[in-house]
Copies of this chain bind each other. A is one copy, B any other.
Amino acid sequence: MQAGDNSIAKAQQAAAAQLGARARRDIRSGAWTAHTSGLAPGNVQGNLAILPAAVAGDFLRFCQRNPKPCPLLAVSEPGEFALPELGADIDIRSDVPRYRVWHGGQLVAEPTDIRELWRDDLVTFVLGCSFSFEQALIEAGIPLRHVECGSNVAMYRTNIPTRPAGRFSGPLVVSMRPMVAADAIRAVQVTSRLPQVHGAPVHIGDPALIGVNDIARPDFGDPVEIRPGELPVFWACGVTPQAVVMEAKVDFCITHAPGAMLVTDLLNHQLANN
């Protein structure tokens, strides 16, 4: 039934491309300026970092050396604002609902469009995000408390160093999801198949062992209850590269605003290894 399988996969891909294109059209036109969570569910969404070519080489090496927090989905040529491998019609200058513009590590603007700021030396990095593996966990029947509570995931700076590259260095930032042990074991299996969206957890259990001394006070996001019999499970987090870029105080950079991601045409389940 090879032919049948292929046509189902092609139909799914075509549907994903239509959903992705519609989401980006609404965002591009200004009709959608909110968070992208739940928009084109099933489609891969990406974290965004746009950097001048002068520092893009350092950042690319940083991502290569730290694939768990910085899983690269696409890197553009300098000055190129299309990303055809993520969606035929993507214009990265307009297709994210809200951007953040940084000068020397300081936030200076939050526009909904960056066409006026575009330069010929800008390189776009799109990184995998935890939305994809959270969909896989939910489909595997693993409850995610922050999703049930409608809050942001809890994130923490750790004492785990990243591998530096050029001007970029700093500690690993992790997200934490509490779950019972059987779900933690299943979550390792499910997320191990998804290395392009942070992959397997980096730690399970005692937060102090990774330098997290007050689990009730996350450094980013919202606190979440850990119930008796549950283990905190920690994944490398896409806030890591953002924190590293801020810390490096590069002259100019653009990121997405929190929760306002790039919606691609890829399907989450296409990212899974065998």
Chain B proximity of A142: nearest CB distance (Å):
14
User: Closest residue of chain B to A184, judged by CB?
Assistant: B204
Contact (Cβ within 8 A) B182 A203: yes
Asked whether any CB of chain B lies closer than 8 Å to the CB of A189, the reply is yes
Chain B proximity of A66: nearest CB distance (Å):
16
**Residues from 153 to 203 in A contacting B, C-beta threshold 8 Å:** 181-182, 184-185, 188-189, 192, 200-203
Query: In the complex, what residues of B have CB within 8 A of residue A182's CB?
Result: 202-203
Query: In the complex, what residues of B have CB within 8 A of residue A231's CB?
Result: 204-205
Contact (Cβ within 8 A) A189 B185: no
Whole-angstrom distance between the alpha carbons of A200 and B187 in the complex? Answer: 12
Interface of A is mostly: mixed
> What is the 8 Å Cβ interface bit string for chain A, positions 233-274, against chain B (1 contact, 0 not)?
000000000000000000000000000000000000000001
Asked whether any CB of chain B lies closer than 8 Å to the CB of A4, the reply is no
Query: In the complex, what residues of B have CB within 8 A of residue A209's CB?
Result: 181, 229
Chain B proximity of A85: nearest CB distance (Å):
26
Whole-angstrom distance between the alpha carbons of A83 and B189 in the complex? Answer: 33
Interface residues on A, range: 10 to 19
Whole-angstrom distance between the alpha carbons of A229 and B204 in the complex? Answer: 11
Asked whether any CB of chain B lies closer than 8 Å to the CB of A206, the reply is yes
Contact (Cβ within 8 A) A203 B181: yes
Query: Given that A188-B188, A189-B188, A189-B192 are contacting pairs, would A181 and B200 also be in contact in the complex, using a CB cutoff of 8 Å?
Result: no
A185-B203, A188-B200 given; 11 more Cβ-contact pairs under 8 Å: A181-B206, A181-B209, A182-B202, A185-B188, A185-B200, A185-B204, A189-B200, A204-B205, A205-B205, A205-B231, A274-B274
Give me 29 A-to-B residue pairs in the complex whose CB atoms sit less than 8 angstroms apart, sorted by A's number.
A181-B203, A181-B204, A181-B205, A181-B206, A181-B209, A182-B202, A182-B203, A184-B204, A185-B188, A185-B200, A185-B201, A185-B202, A185-B203, A185-B204, A188-B188, A188-B189, A188-B192, A188-B200, A189-B189, A189-B192, A192-B192, A204-B204, A204-B205, A204-B231, A205-B205, A205-B231, A206-B229, A209-B229, A274-B274
